[in-house]
């Protein structure tokens, strides 16, 4: 699933891509699930940035 949102018309967009199968691990915490996201001009791709457990600490 891809979610695209922006604060106001013409502003930067936030794109988030979620793969529901990443949530299948019953023993995983939410901070261990990879989330692909990007902030940029309208039409930016959520695959250009990745936030996961290893990059948040």
pLDDT at 52 (0 to 100)? 44
Can you tell me whether residue 32 is helix, strand or coil?
Answer: helix
d(CA 39, CA 24): 27
How large a percentage of the chain has pLDDT more than 70? 74
| Torsion angle of the four alpha carbons 50, 29, 22, 44, in this order, in degrees rounded to the nearest 10 | -30
Rounded to two decimals, what is the model's pTM? 0.54
Is residue 55 over pLDDT 50? no
Among 34, 37, 42, 32, CA closest to 8: 42
Token digits of residue 56: 């948040």
Q: Which sequence spans correspond to the domains of the chain?
A: 2-55
């Amino acid at each position: 699933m891809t979610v695209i949102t922006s604060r106001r018309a013409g502003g930067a967009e936030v794109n988030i891509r979620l793969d529901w199968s990443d949530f299948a691990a019953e023993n995983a915490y939410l901070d261990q699930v990879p989330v692909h996201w990007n902030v940029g001009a309208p039409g930016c791709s959520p695959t250009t940035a990745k936030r996961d457990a290893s990059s948040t600490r």
